[in-house]
Amino acid sequence: MKTLSTRYSDAFTYALNLHHFQYRKGTRVPYIAHLMSVSALILENGGDEDQAIAGLLHDAVEDQGGIKTLEEIRSRFGDRVANIVEGCSDSYTLFKPPWRERKELYLAELARADKDIRLVSLADKVHNTRSLLWDLQQYGSAVWKRFNGGKEGTLWYYRALVDFFIDGEQTPLVCELNRVVSEIEQLAREE
């Protein structure tokens, strides 16, 4: 891969500004840490600059402005980045549909998604599950209260994602998602 261009640094600054006051659920971890981790996983697993930029921006539409933000991303970073971000978004409105309904629809849309969207989604889910596993190891079952789906819904969703990705190409990132989700399931059984 070529070195990253100024587009990447522009996207990083844009993401930092969008998510400046946002933290990870139930923590004081700046949200940008998640976006940086997702982008890094993409690059570490063969992704290109557009995919890595989409990794930085994948939650912008859901969390920071909906369609208006999507159009700004399209204008600033191009159609490919905007299409990936759109494909990784399960809601465009402040008042989101019910959690389970959104997740089921996201899984159905992921089945029709292209490889760009799948890579960014997979990197996002790997980082999310790693964070969940770490939090469960540190804080125990109280962590489940952070999640709209609760313990059972969250376990269902992550296993459904593993099943989806395992049916596709077996990559190190897919294996990592399966490993981490399996550890989370084991901890949940021991509670």
CA distance to 35, 61, 88, 128, 180, per residue, from 171 (Å): 21, 28, 19, 18, 14
Return the exposure string of 57-73: e unless at least 16 CB atoms fall within 10 Å of the residue's CB, then b.
Answer: bbbbbbbbbbeebbebb
pLDDT recorded at residue 65 = 78
What is the average pLDDT across 126-132? 97
Are the beta carbons of 80 and 91 closer than 8 angstroms? Answer: no
Query: Of 14-28, 68-82, 87-101, 172-186, where does mean pLDDT reach its minimum?
Result: 87-101
Residue 160: CB atoms within 10 Å = 16
> Residue 152 — very low, low, confident or very high, per pLDDT cuts 50/70/90?
very high
Amino acid occupying residue 72: E
Q: What domains appear along the chain, each with residue ranges and CATH number?
A: 6-190 (1.10.3210.10)
To which residue do tokens 């313990």 refer?
Answer: 151
pTM value is 0.93
The residues near 36 (Cβ < 8 Å, ≥ 6 apart) are: 12, 56
Burial 10-34, CB ≥16 within 10 A → b, else e: ebbebbeebbeeeebbeeeebbbeb
Report pLDDT digits (tens) over 69-87: 999 999 999 999 999 999 9
Residue 67 amino acid letter? I
- Report, as an integer, the average pLDDT of 132-155: 94
> What is the per-residue pLDDT for 79?
98
Q: What is the dihedral of CA 62, 182, 179, 140, to 10 degrees?
A: 70
